[in-house]
Structure formats: C-alpha cells, structure tokens
C-alpha cells in the first residue's frame, strides 16, 4: 500500500514537473532571423514573429524583402519583391532545454527581376556591309505559392536566445512570365545553379534554421 502511494506520488510530481517544463519552453512571443535566406538564389532579409495562441499552439508570421545580391549574369539583375509565410505550430514533448513541434506553413513569393538580351544583327547600309546589334532589357515575373509540412525543435542556448530548426517537405506551384517579345525565345540556363524557369507543380525537401530571441 505504501509502495503504491509512493509510486502515485512520484508520477504526480513527475507529471507536474514535465508540464511545468513544457509550459516554460513554449514561447509566448519571439522574433527570429533566417540566415539561409541570405544565400538563396533570390536572397531575402527574412524576419519572423511567433506568438502563442493557446498552450501548445502558436502562429508565426514570416516576411522577407528581396535583396539584389549574387547577380552573376545579365539574365538575373535588379531582383526585387518579397517572400511571405504563415506557420501554424503545435508543440509536442519537452526536455529541460529542448522542445519539439510539428507545423504547416502556407507561403507566397512575389519577385521581379530584369533580364538583358541581344537581338539579331541588323544592317546599316543597303548592302549590309555594316551591321549592329541592339541590346534589350525586359522584366521577368516569378511567382510561387504552396505549403510546407515540417517537424522541428527549439533549443534554448543561453538566456533568451534560442535555435530553431526544422525539416520536412514542400509542395511548390511555380510560375514564370516575362515581357520578352516573341522574337526572343526564352534563354536556357547559363550555369548549373540557376533556377528552372518552367511553370510546374513539384514536391521538394525542406530545411530551415533560425536564430531566435524570446521576448516572453
């Protein structure tokens, strides 16, 4: 009888401790920065804000401004636009300084950039002994939307500073368009790391990391 009461007491104390740890580790309010977005082909200064809705449930608004970085060719210049995401996150089990979660995240990208193209040779004189070529600039439109399903965790580093990581899968709907006249066919990729400009729907792996400052 005494052993039974002791076991129940230990279970009660343990569950209370675990619940207390869980509630302490779920952020009520936090701001985040994503370093990986700076090295994306369309780089952004990406900042997120997470807010607790109810116990284990939080919502995260994520927005980034496109920066004109890494412009290696005249096919992708003057990049501009934004990336936006809205994540709903449900926290699971917790340890002393670590808590896991699952989440779903719809997103939308709206990005424009400029492209230069060279036209066919044209003649100056009637006999076409002297020729010239025109250089044209036109605007490209890149739109993408979809959603991601993710599993991740928050690791408490020191004080109010945390590390947020996640992996998962993303369903992408990609659309490219341009003001390029019909006489200029779409150019092929000039190097291996340029994006595929075909309109498509595809699944892709997801990896995300963020540095976090917990406000409360």
Residue 172 to residue 204: CA distance in whole angstroms: 7
- pLDDT tens, 32-48? 999 999 999 999 999 99
- pLDDT tens, 144-186? 999 999 999 999 999 899 999 999 999 999 999 876 655 555 5
- pLDDT tens, 73-129? 788 899 999 999 999 999 998 888 999 999 999 999 999 999 887 766 777 777 777
Residue 56 to residue 49: CA distance in whole angstroms: 16
3-class secondary-structure state, position 33: strand
Other CB atoms within a 10 A radius of the CB of residue 129 amount to: 8
Beta bridge partners of 83: 64, 109
Beta bridge partners of 105: 148
What is the pLDDT at residue 117?
75
Residue-range domains of the chain with CATH: 2-214 (2.40.160)
- The mean of the pLDDT values for the chain is 84
What is the pLDDT at residue 176?
92
């Amino acid at each position: 009888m005494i052993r039974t009461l002791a076991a129940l007491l230990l279970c009660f104390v343990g569950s209370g401790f675990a619940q207390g740890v869980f509630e302490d580790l779920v952020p009520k309010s936090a701001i985040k920065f994503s370093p990986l977005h700076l090295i994306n082909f369309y780089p952004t200064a990406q900042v997120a804000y997470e807010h607790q809705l109810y116990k284990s449930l939080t919502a995260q608004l994520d927005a980034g401004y496109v920066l004109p970085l890494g412009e290696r060719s005249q096919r992708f210049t003057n990049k501009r636009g934004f990336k936006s995401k809205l994540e709903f996150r449900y926290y699971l089990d917790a340890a002393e300084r670590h808590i896991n979660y699952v989440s779903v995240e719809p997103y939308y990208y709206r990005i424009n950039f400029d492209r230069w193209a060279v036209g066919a040779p044209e003649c100056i004189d009637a006999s076409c002994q002297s020729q010239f070529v025109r250089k044209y600039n036109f605007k490209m439109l890149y739109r993408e939307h979809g959603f991601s399903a993710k599993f991740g965790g928050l690791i408490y580093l020191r004080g109010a500073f945390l590390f947020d990581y996640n992996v998962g899968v993303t369903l992408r709907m990609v659309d490219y368009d341009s003001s390029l006249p019909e006489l200029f066919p779409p150019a092929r990729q000039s190097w291996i790391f340029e994006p595929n400009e075909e309109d498509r729907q595809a699944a892709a792996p997801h990896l995300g990391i963020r540095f976090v400052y917990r406000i409360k």
